[in-house]
């Protein structure tokens, strides 16, 4: 069905069309009209079909569009009106108050054409040209404006711009500032160089209203600031401000996105300085580095004296913490205690296996304790999860006084000095043989006095040397739960398995369980306090730690008493047996590994603590005992020999007694 339409009337609401058609009309002017003049107009129409019959009554949807051309082109204004009642073919709407209102903010300074479509159908033809109402012709009077008829209150702010002014006749403008010596003056003349606010002036404005008077744009347009024809700053319509050049601020700069958030971004949101929600300030970057170049950095101090100067406030228990995720790696507490926690591990031959590696320089680590170093002050302590395993401690005067060797040598020196003093006194009282009349005093012998004096001086010097040795050589002592000195020795057979506590024989510097004919008998150590002769890392698998001296657990079979000598069992299985000192033979002394310091009644093989390294005193005591036995045998032999000689003499005398005269004795012969 073809529809036809006709315009019954187009009635401008309250004369808006008449006013808007004037040559000075503009969107801004229309927007600033009093609230009682709405930007809309009434439109009434009559719809029929192609036969002239009105369309059936009901509700229809209309689309109204205004074009600047009679045909073609794009609409300059469009509005939808849905469910508009139609009665007898007649309807009426307010253009500018549609279902989604679109104010009529056009300047109406040119011909416009109204196009209509119904219920989503095609545009009805032809378009309707808008005509001027009778009283709208009055707008032509605006082409000629009488002097004084346009005053400030009649002009909307920013409605008169430079591009709308062709020329200005200053004699028609009242109250305009005068220019004297290139200075803008205000009438009446005062020292105040500001002017009333309707146009912004370079000397300032008076009576401005911040709600209505501003620098900027009233539409979605950027604002640009330029100097020397070059843009220096741009404020984008959506609020972003871009400055091209340096910003020198004499005062504080505050960034406040919210009441608890602010920051400065560098090029992008992934680099910058921010505060989030509390007092924490975050200097951040993603994938890059934060570099502080030049000068010192102070944390907790306004006068840093180092590249990084940290001064913790009182009550801060850990002024410095370096962490990797949730794991602390380096901490320094308020007492200055430094703790390093590391997950480094690996071979003992790799530097990367150690949490702390110090390199460079010609020296290593220097350790100073604040107190005089003694056995209560450790320079270095060694711990594992089970607790203390060893320490390097200092020595003090008390340690010297408690040393039995020092006490013995000091006592001996005192005795020797006393003896030398007595000898000198004796020499001084000696006298030479002399002759004379009456009482004669003879001088002491000079040579004796000289010898005694030299002996005393030598003894005093020896004592001084002894004391100086002890007091000048106060040092450190290494203490450990281990108790033997050991060295790495190569196994005679790399395939032979040796275990801690095995008795081994040494032949040519190599060890095995074979003890027969060995040059020396030693024990495999478990955890020596000192370990020497370290092999190369790739050869260590062919070596064993062999104890030379000290206390070491030894595999022993059978009953053991404290003080028994431990010798190889002869089974070549690494075990030993105990022999009482009274039963030891010279051959067994040659085989002794050491003496038992613990006892056991178990007949099985077990570990017994043995003092390894035969003391020369052990041999001396054996030699002394044998010497006593030899002397006893000699006395006995002499006694027997003497008895035999007496018998021989008696027998010889008896045989010659017949030839001896009566009354004579053998001795008289």
The percent of residues in the chain predicted with pLDDT above 70, rounded, is 70
Q: Hey, which bits of 449-569 come out as E strands?
A: 476-480, 484-491, 503-507, 510-512, 520-524, 530-532, 543-556, 565-568
Would you place residue 284 in the very low, low, confident or very high pLDDT band (cuts 50, 70, 90)?
Answer: confident
- Rounded to an integer, the average pLDDT of 312-338 is 88
What count of other Cβ atoms lies within 10 Å of the Cβ of residue 613? 17
Residue that is written with structure tokens 């104010």 in the block: 103
What interhelical angle do 404-428 and 446-472 show, nearest 10? Answer: 160
- Rounded to an integer, the average pLDDT of 312-334 is 88
* Nearest one of 496, 493, 487 to 548, comparing CA atoms: 487
Would you place residue 352 in the very low, low, confident or very high pLDDT band (cuts 50, 70, 90)?
Answer: confident
- Rounded to an integer, the average pLDDT of 538-544 is 92
pLDDT at 154 over 60: yes
Verdict on whether the full-model pTM lies above 0.75: no
Determine the pLDDT at residue 168. 62
pLDDT at 584 over 60: yes
Contact in structure between 611 and 592 (CB atoms under 8 Å): no
Better pLDDT: 380 or 623: 380
The two tokens of residue 170 are 């200053």
Would you place residue 194 in the very low, low, confident or very high pLDDT band (cuts 50, 70, 90)?
Answer: very low
The percent of residues in the chain predicted with pLDDT above 90, rounded, is 27
Average pLDDT, the chain: 78
Determine the pLDDT at residue 392. 79
The C-alpha atoms of residue 109 and residue 98 are separated, in whole angstroms, by 23
Write the pLDDT tens digit of every residue in 242-260: 998 898 999 998 888 888 8
* Nearest one of 523, 613, 650 to 575, comparing CA atoms: 523
The C-alpha atoms of residue 512 and residue 504 are separated, in whole angstroms, by 5
The two tokens of residue 631 are 């002397």
Residue that is written with structure tokens 């921010």 in the block: 274
Residue that is written with structure tokens 């209102």 in the block: 101
Alpha-carbon radius of gyration of the chain: 62
- Rounded to an integer, the average pLDDT of 584-611 is 91
Write the pLDDT tens digit of every residue in 353-377: 888 888 878 888 888 877 666 666 7
* Nearest one of 378, 366, 373 to 475, comparing CA atoms: 373
Determine the pLDDT at residue 599. 95
Contacts of 403 (CB under 8 A, 6+ apart): 470
The C-alpha atoms of residue 504 and residue 497 are separated, in whole angstroms, by 11
Determine the pLDDT at residue 287. 78
């Amino acid at each position: 069905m073809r529809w036809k339409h006709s315009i019954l009337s187009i009635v401008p609401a309250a004369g808006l069309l008449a006013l808007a058609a004037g040559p000075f009309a503009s969107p801004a002017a229309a927007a600033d009209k009093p609230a009682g003049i709405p930007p809309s107009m009434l439109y009434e129409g009559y719809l029929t079909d192609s036969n002239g019959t009105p369309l059936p009554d009901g509700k229809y949807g209309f689309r109204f569009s205004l074009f600047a051309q009679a045909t073609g082109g794009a609409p300059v204004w469009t509005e939808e009106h849905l469910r508009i009642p139609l009665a007898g073919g007649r309807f009426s709407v307010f253009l500018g108050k549609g279902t989604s209102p679109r104010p009529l903010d056009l300047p109406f300074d040119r011909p416009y054409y109204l196009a209509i479509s119904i219920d989503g159908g095609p545009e009805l033809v032809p378009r309707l040209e808008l005509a001027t109402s009778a009283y709208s012709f009055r707008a032509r009077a605006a082409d000629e404006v009488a002097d004084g008829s346009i005053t400030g209150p009649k002009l909307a702010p920013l409605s008169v711009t430079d591009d709308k002014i062709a020329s200005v006749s200053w004699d028609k403008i009242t109250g305009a500032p005068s220019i004297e010596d290139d200075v803008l003056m205000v009438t009446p003349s005062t020292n105040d160089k500001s002017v009333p606010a309707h146009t912004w002036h370079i000397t300032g404005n008076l009576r401005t209203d911040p709600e209505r008077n501003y620098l900027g744009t009233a539409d979605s347009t950027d604002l640009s600031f330029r100097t020397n024809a070059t843009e220096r700053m741009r404020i984008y319509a959506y609020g972003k401000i871009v400055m091209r050049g340096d910003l020198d601020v004499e005062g504080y700069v505050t960034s406040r996105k919210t009441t608890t958030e602010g920051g400065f971004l560098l090029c992008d949101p992934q680099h910058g300085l921010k505060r989030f929600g509390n007092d924490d300030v975050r200097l951040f970057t993603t994938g890059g580095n934060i570099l502080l170049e030049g000068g010192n950095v102070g944390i907790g101090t306004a006068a840093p004296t180092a590249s990084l100067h940290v001064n913790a406030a009182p009550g801060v228990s850990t002024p410095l913490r370096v962490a990797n995720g949730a794991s602390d790696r380096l901490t320094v507490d308020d007492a200055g205690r430094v703790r390093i926690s590391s997950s480094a591990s690996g071979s003992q031959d790799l530097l990367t296996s150690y949490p702390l590696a110090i390199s460079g320089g010609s020296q290593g680590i220097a350790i100073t304790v604040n107190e005089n170093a003694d056995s209560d002050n450790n320079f270095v302590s060694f711990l594992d999860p089970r607790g203390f395993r060893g320490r390097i401690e200092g020595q003090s005067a008390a340690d010297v006084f408690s040393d039995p060797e020092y006490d013995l040598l000091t006592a001996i020196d005192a005795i020797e000095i006393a003896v030398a003093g007595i000898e000198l006194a004796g020499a001084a009282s000696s006298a030479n043989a002399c002759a004379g009349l009456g009482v004669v005093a003879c001088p002491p012998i000079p040579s004796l006095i000289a010898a005694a004096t030299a002996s005393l001086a030598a003894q005093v010097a020896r004592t001084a040397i002894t004391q100086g040795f002890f007091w000048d050589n106060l040092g450190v002592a290494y203490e450990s739960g281990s108790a033997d000195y050991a060295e790495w020795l190569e196994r005679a057979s790399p395939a032979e398995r040796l275990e801690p506590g095995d008795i081994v024989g040494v032949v040519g510097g190599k060890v095995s369980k074979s003890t027969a004919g060995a040059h020396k008998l030693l024990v495999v150590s478990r955890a020596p306090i000192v370990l020497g002769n370290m092999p190369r890392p790739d050869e260590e698998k062919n070596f064993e730690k062999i104890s030379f001296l000290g206390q070491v657990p030894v595999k022993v079979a059978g009953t053991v008493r404290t003080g028994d000598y431990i010798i190889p069992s002869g089974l070549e299985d690494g075990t030993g047996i105990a022999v009482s000192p009274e039963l030891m033979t010279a051959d067994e002394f040659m085989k002794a590994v050491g003496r038992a310091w613990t006892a056991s009644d178990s007949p099985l093989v077990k570990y017994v603590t043995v003092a390894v390294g035969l003391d020369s005193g052990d041999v001396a005591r054996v030699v002394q005992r044998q010497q006593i036995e030899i002397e006893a045998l000699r006395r006995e032999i002499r006694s027997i020999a003497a008895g035999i000689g007496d018998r021989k003499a008696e027998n010889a005398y008896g045989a010659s007694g017949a030839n001896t005269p009566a009354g004579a004795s053998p001795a008289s012969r």
